[in-house]
Structure formats: C-alpha cells, structure tokens
Structure 1
Amino acid sequence: MRYSSKIKEILKLKWPEFEAKYSAAIRECEKEAVTKVLGCGDPQNGFAEYWCLDCGGKEKKIVPFTCKSRFCPSCGKVYTDKWVEKMSKEM
C-alpha cells in the first residue's frame, strides 16, 4: 500500500500540469484511468456504511468504494493476484 499512495500522490501533484502540457497526445482511456486512480477510495465517490448491531447502532464504519481498475496501484494488485491464481489452476 505504501507504493500505491506514493504513485497516487505523484499523480495528484503532477497530473494537472502534465495533462495541460500534453493534452493532445493523451488518449481518452488514459485520462479515464488516471481519473479512476485519483478517485479510488474517496468517500465522495461513494461508500457503504456498516453499523454495529451489537452496540445498538452506535458505532459505524464507512467503507469507500474502490475504482476496480487494473491500472490502479491498489486495485490492480487484486486483479493481478486473481489472474495469477486463475493461470496457476489452468496449468
């Protein structure tokens, strides 16, 4: 997770400048991928709330949605692990 946050921080800091400079050369799918990575795990993009039934609903946990993009440093790891598992079973 440490690397993914560093990559995300670099994108947060440098993407607007990069996009402004090279906008004509950046494909739409690349822009969408970066947008997904930047919004991954942000509660403003949606979340699920879980309430503790044992304590009468006093405690709640908010779990933000992930982007599920294979290009995302966090979500891509899950994608890769599942692919490796599938290929291992096939071999």
Structure 2
Amino acid sequence: MEIADIQAWGKKHYNKGVGSFLLHAAEQYAEPLVVSKINGVIESDSDEHFRRQVTFYRKNQFLVIEKTIEKQLSLGHELSEVRGDIK
C-alpha cells in the first residue's frame, strides 16, 4: 500500500497526533486487505520540513532511507507463511 503526503495545515495543528492517527488508520485499513507493507516517498519544500517528516515517520516505526519510507506489517508476513510463498 502506498501512502501520499500527510499534512497538517498550519503550525497550530502540529504535534496534535493527527498524522499518527491517520497512519494508524491506514494500517487498520490494510489489515483485511492483507497488505504486507506500507510505503511512500517524502516530499518536502524545505530542509526543516524534511527533518520533521523523518522524525515523524521514524516515531511511527517506519524505515526511512533517503526520501523513501517503508513499514512492514506483520499480518501480510504471517499470511505469506501460511500460503507457503516465503522467499
């Protein structure tokens, strides 16, 4: 599952838990769809914004490599074991 930009419009909405709530909702949505990972690309308009995004995704257990984010979901991994299609 690929996610797009999560934004809080205006600094007064920063650090209120909205972005984390939306990421958690995406994970909940992915569960019945048997999605094994969530990924995306960080897009930012400044170094400060980029650093905030990296901190945010890492706080939510995402792997951040350059501008790419990824989180393995355990449900999809468990299903692949049941199917027998382990690499």
Computing the radius of gyration over CA atoms, which structure comes out larger, 1 or 2? 1
Larger RCO: 1 or 2 (CA < 8 Å, sep 6+): 2
TM-score clears 0.5: no
TM normalised by structure 2 equals 0.29
TM-score (norm 1): 0.28
